[in-house]
Structure 1
Amino acid sequence: MMEMLTRPLRHLFVTVFLYSFSVFMVVPAMVDVIMSAVCPGKDECSIAIYLTGAQSVIVGLGAIVMVPLIGNLSDTYGRKVILTAPMVLAIFPSVILAYSRSPYYVYAYLLIKTVTSMLCDGSVICIALAYVADNVAEKQRVSAFGIVSGVASCAFVCGNLFTRFISTSSTFQVSAAGTIIAVLYMRIFLPESVAGTSTKTENESLLEKDSSEDLQVFKKMSSFHDTISLLRTSPTFLQAAAVAFFNTLGDAGVNASVLYYLKAQFQYSKNQFADLIVIIGIAGTISQMVFMPLIAPVIKEKNLLAIGLFSGFVHIFLSSIAWSSWVNYASAMVSVLSSIATPCVRSIASKQVGPSEQGKAQGCLTGICSIASVIAPLAFSPLTALFLSESAPFYFPGFSLMCASLLVLVAFILSIMIKEAPLAPNCSADPAEPSV
């Protein structure tokens, strides 16, 4: 466990916390902000649902290409220098709503947020996981991945709890300031990871490459063909990717549905959204930062993955049949183990590639998840709008959530079928010893 307390990883954890805190804290306010601009004074708004769904589709399409490319670039140029771009871009959307939340500014936010999210969404965690894989031994990688996710969950809790007690305008101001602080902290304190990079400094390696060399590098960047090749390399990686796809499809379906479902069915406001999100975040933080380090050494990753996915299925299923607002809070408590699924599947995939391909592997997995993030809004936004409207074929407001829970159940079934596989031939048992 001491490998997860080294100086590079401590600075990485702080960077992930500051960035995630700043990004997540705006989530509870966004439904009210968008609906105030599009459908003022209403609790149900199909246009807002479709608008959010279209944004998610476009972001997902961009992420399919960009995140694997960014992961592969981090293998070539280093984690820190590539991490800078998405973190800087994440500043601009919050600045817009910090200035004004009038309809024109909300539309400008949605446009800028869509463009920046193509690079930002998934990239920071993708590179952070590759950084951890560079600095942590194989046997402790699943616990380390869990801690990264736990730090993000902790930031999720703190950000939403903080939002609970400040005004909407202050929420976006603090978000913008927090993202700037995260970038400065990362640039000043986070050392470059050594795995997969040259011994030269990041600036030297960039300056000394001429245009022809840059062209050759980009020719080698991750593409659809590279992704297919990586999936064919290891059956275990392919199975992990399938699990990640269906789990993300279900989770993205929930994200496209649940806030508007709660708004229409139980008249939730920003504060109620924040309360529910905090409960889910606390459950995720406890499972990732307490349970995983304790049980990972004695329970196989495959079994942990199955436990997490089944917990997620139960959580979403209960929310879909909620007959009172308290049921949503009770189902949130059931989700205490659901957040361990993602670190487990990431760790399983990580162990199937060599140390110089961690960014490529994590980027490939994130790209596959981005495909699910594209499909989910296309399916779930119309489904949610239909079953929340008066023209629903039958009365079941949570029908879209029920469908999402079944997709997570498919991921659970696939996780049981994952076979144990040997490590990649060029994987070493231990990475280069990090500085302390």
Structure 2
Amino acid sequence: MEGLGGLSHLFVTMFLASIGGVIIVPAITDITMAALCPAQHQCSLAIYLTGFQQLMAGVGSVVMTPLIGNMSDRYGRKALLTLPLTVSVIPQVILAYSRDTKFFYAYYVVKTFAAMAGEGSLYCLALAYVTDRVPDGKRTSAFGILAGVASTSFVCGTLVAHFLSTALTFQVSSVLSVIALVYMRIFLKESVPGEGMKQPLLKEAEETYAQQCEDDSSPRTTGTFKKLPSLGDIICLLKCSPTFSQVAVVLFFNSLADGGLSAALLYYLKARFQFNKDQFADLMMITGIGETLSQLFFMPLLVPVIGEEKLLSTGLLISCINIFVYSISWSAWVPYALASFSAFAVFVRPSICSIASKQVGPTEQGMLQGCLSGVSSLADIIAPLIFTPLTALFLSNEAPFYFPGFSLMCLGLTLMIAFFQSLMICAVPPVAGGKINSNCCTDTLV
């Protein structure tokens, strides 16, 4: 295992890729509203289309992230990182060319398919790469630093977006995404342990096909697809590890709240206080600065003192309170004041990943992170089905009672469930030896 210095190229890749993705976020709400509902501050169609895109991205991620995570255990993290980095470039190029209504719809369709193919897998593979390189005792801090790099790029991206025109925003985003892809392919070293690495996918497929041609009676199921992840992988982890089961429940409800928040918050702020691109960028920059400081400096200090489980519960509790106050915002300054408290909410995901990573061996980290991403993506499917119509209803004139932040209040209740579940987590010692080894799994895993 190498130290954190061995992760520098991964951090640079994630930094560039994250800036490329974040830089467009402050502008996309205004572009969507302008394309669908010009000169309006509230648009149910925009909310529903955003929710549908999130729903489809979740459906794709449920299938793709466990698949890509499992394949990265066999063929390497670097090879599989190419997919999400490549598909992220295409939709940005479309809006870099034009933001007219017809180009927006083209972007919407391409972005939806791109999100289905690779949106959830980039961070999943990055987490698996960190796990390959860092020993158990330092993983929470390493995960926090990785999240801190993403938060730093979040700050830089929103700061840059604040000063760029809308046209330049998407052009710069496209260029940065391409640089991230090229940098990764040139400089990033493979990290999967030697015994987990297999021969290249295409070569293995060719040899399997040749063997079947020699023996027509041999079964047609190849070694590659026979070992692709299935629902059985997740069921095995849930049955064999009570800790993983508890972590999965916490992750599900936390992701459900995050998914609902991403679908509701910006439209809520635009309808409630008429926020625009620059105000969104300011708000996101405050949030990003707090998250960066928290992940890079506070987490490494707090983990040895209070442990991952208490850090997880603390982050969930503060997130819950934060969203409750968001839902009753009485003035435009309240969201700015609340943004700084997100510095504590970012403890959640690194703590979850660290606790879960200790439940399997080094050659199964890709599968584990893929399963976690699958659980999170399942929540991403459900979130827009619930919170998109709820947000649209309570921001419209047909609301049964006046409470624009009602959907946010419901998100706070969802996080409260995750918080109470986190109090029940009692992590077991790390798996020794390598692979999941339990009688309940022998019939599930190939």
**Number of the residue aligned with 2:235:** 228
Q: State yes or no: 1:4 paired with 2:4.
A: yes
Q: 1:96-115 residue pairs with structure 2 within 5 A?
A: 96-115=94-113
**Separation in 1, partners of 2:73, 2:194:** 5
Describe the shift of the 1:218–1:199 C-alpha distance in structure 2 as closer, same or farther (beyond 3 A): closer
Q: Which amino acid aligns with 2:351?
A: C
**Number of the residue aligned with 1:432:** none
**Number of the residue aligned with 1:350:** 357
Provide the identity percentage: 53
Describe the shift of the 1:255–1:274 C-alpha distance in structure 2 as closer, same or farther (beyond 3 A): same
Which of residues 263, 287, 297 in structure 1 aligns to 2:270? 263
Q: State yes or no: 1:292 paired with 2:290.
A: no
Conserved? CA contact 1:76–1:196, under 8 Å: no
Conserved? CA contact 1:313–1:406, under 8 Å: yes
Q: Which amino acid aligns with 1:98?
A: A
Q: State yes or no: 1:278 paired with 2:285.
A: yes
Report how far residue 62 of structure 1 moved.
0.9
Conserved? CA contact 1:198–1:205, under 8 Å: no
Report how far residue 210 of structure 1 moved.
2.5
Which of residues 122, 128, 147 in structure 1 aligns to 2:145? 147
User: Structure 2: any 5+ residue segments left out of the alignment?
Assistant: 210-220, 436-446
| 1:122-167: CA deviation from partner (whole Å, max 9, x where unpaired) | 2111001000000101000010011111111111111111000000
Report how far residue 413 of structure 1 moved.
0.7
| 1:240-275: CA deviation from partner (whole Å, max 9, x where unpaired) | 011000001011111110000000000000000011
**Separation in 2, partners of 1:375, 1:330:** 30
**Separation in 2, partners of 1:196, 1:314:** 46
Report how far residue 196 of structure 1 moved.
6.0
Report how far residue 188 of structure 1 moved.
0.6
SS of the aligned residue for 2:350 comes to helix
RMSD: 1.7
Q: State yes or no: 1:384 paired with 2:407.
A: no
Runs of 4+ in 1 over 3 A off after TM superposition: 196-200
**Separation in 1, partners of 2:207, 2:87:** 25
Q: State yes or no: 1:310 paired with 2:308.
A: no
Question: How many residues in Structure 1 have an aligned counterpart in Structure 2?
Answer: 424
Conserved? CA contact 2:192–2:363, under 8 Å: no
Q: 1:172-191 residue pairs with structure 2 within 5 A?
A: 172-191=170-189
Q: State yes or no: 1:48 paired with 2:46.
A: yes
Please report the TM-score for the alignment, with normalisation by the length of structure 2.
0.92
Which of residues 244, 247, 257 in structure 1 aligns to 2:251? 244
Q: 1:154-173 residue pairs with structure 2 within 5 A?
A: 154-173=152-171
**Number of the residue aligned with 2:425:** 418
Report how far residue 420 of structure 1 moved.
2.5
Report how far residue 105 of structure 1 moved.
0.6
**Number of the residue aligned with 2:37:** 39
Q: Which amino acid aligns with 1:210?
A: E
User: Structure 1: any 5+ residue segments left out of the alignment?
Assistant: 429-436
| 1:190-239: CA deviation from partner (whole Å, max 9, x where unpaired) | 00113266567x7x565355263792222211111221112212000110
Conserved? CA contact 1:236–1:349, under 8 Å: yes
Greater Cα offset, 398-407 or 213-222: 213-222
| 1:312-363: CA deviation from partner (whole Å, max 9, x where unpaired) | 1121111111000101111111221100110000111110001000000000
Conserved? CA contact 1:311–1:336, under 8 Å: no
**Separation in 1, partners of 2:194, 2:381:** 31
Conserved? CA contact 1:308–1:339, under 8 Å: yes
SS of the aligned residue for 2:81 comes to helix
Please report the TM-score for the alignment, with normalisation by the length of structure 1.
0.94
**Separation in 1, partners of 2:201, 2:263:** 42
Report how far residue 373 of structure 1 moved.
0.5
| 1:353-388: CA deviation from partner (whole Å, max 9, x where unpaired) | 010000000000000000100111111110001100
SS of the aligned residue for 1:210 comes to helix
**Number of the residue aligned with 1:431:** none
Describe the shift of the 1:209–1:290 C-alpha distance in structure 2 as closer, same or farther (beyond 3 A): same
**Number of the residue aligned with 1:405:** 412
